[in-house]
Amino acid sequence: MASRIKLLVLDTPEAVAQHVAGQFVSLVRDRPGAVLGLATGSTPERSYAEIVRLSKAERVSFAGVHAFNLDEYHGIACEHPQSYRTYMNRHLFDHLDVRPWNTYVLNGAAADVDAECASFEAKIKACGGIDLWLLGIGTNGHVAFNEPGSPADSRTRKVALAESTLASNADGRFFKTPAEVPPHALTAGVGTVLDARRLLLVAIGAKKAEIVAKAVKGPKTPDVPASLLQDHADCTFVLDKAAAERI
Ligand code: GLP
């Protein structure tokens, strides 16, 4: 089957953030009990700031929303300054009226990792599945922490991070050296992500251009996990010009 990925190329990172925020805020306006999927990394930061601004400007309440995050580092406490729980609270949850108990970020410090991953999947099911999941892409093609080699039917589990991911996340934005980055993570699987009713993958900047092109029009292969999104019935890549230039 040919790639079903839809492309939306916008002029600037700000326009990308405005589009993403518009999609989330209008979903929640129309469906106050919406089930959202969220991501971390540098890319969504602008989108989260814009969701906060727009939801306040348009008086859209997130009080009925459930929100699930893609992934979390293994072996660090929720309170760690670089945990994805800390990131989400800082960039989004603390600024919305979403109920903290309805926000689900995998617990990287859970004593029983398998039970933690199974309960994450069960909670998504109990909420009726994810309406809209925001995704980023790693320079090696990872989605969440599904590194190259992750199959399309993978579920939430503990994974080892690729060397390139350790390096990317140790460039000073999050950690200072690769040795500081936790070597393992808990991540929603490719299959978990593909179950969402709608996907929005966001990429910004020239350093994502090559991998975005491979994901959109390259062969569908676990070597480029984002290429496995090609089969999804409603997946849009929202790109700035720089990230789209190799397609
Ligand atoms: C991180 C996250 C991913 C994210 C990706 C890209 O390690 N686990 O979910 O999409 O890498 O991040 P960035 O937006 O910082 O380039």
- Report yes or no on 84 lying in a domain: yes
Residue of the CA atom closest to atom 11 of ligand 1: 138
How many folded domains does the chain comprise?
A: 1
Residue of the CA atom closest to atom 9 of ligand 1: 144
User: Letter for the amino acid at 239?
Assistant: L
Average pLDDT of the segment spanning 84-101? 98
CB atoms within 10 A of CB 152: 18
What is the atom index within ligand 1 of the atom nearest the CA of 187? 8
For 98-148, write each residue's pLDDT tens digit: 999 999 999 999 999 999 999 999 999 999 999 999 999 999 999 999 999
- Report yes or no on 56 lying in a domain: yes
Integer Cα distance of 108 and 91 in angstroms:
19
| Dihedrals phi, psi of 195, to nearest 5 degrees | -70, -15
For 2-25, write each residue's pLDDT tens digit: 899 999 999 999 999 999 999 999
124 neighbors 68 (Cβ within 8 angstroms): yes
Kindly report the CATH number assigned to the domain that includes residue 19. 3.40.50.1360
Does this model's pTM top 0.75? My answer is yes
- Report yes or no on 62 lying in a domain: yes
- Report yes or no on 244 lying in a domain: no
Annotated catalytic residue, options 19, 74, 142, 232: 142
Average pLDDT of the segment spanning 51-80? 98
- Report yes or no on 189 lying in a domain: no
- Report yes or no on 196 lying in a domain: no
- Report yes or no on 245 lying in a domain: no
Q: Indicate whether residue 71 lines ligand 1 (CB < 6 A).
A: yes
Q: Indicate whether residue 188 lines ligand 1 (CB < 6 A).
A: no
Q: What is the pLDDT of residue 1?
A: 77
What is the residue-averaged pLDDT of the chain? 97
Containing domain of residue 167, as a range?
Answer: 6-129+142-182+219-237
Q: Indicate whether residue 156 lines ligand 1 (CB < 6 A).
A: no
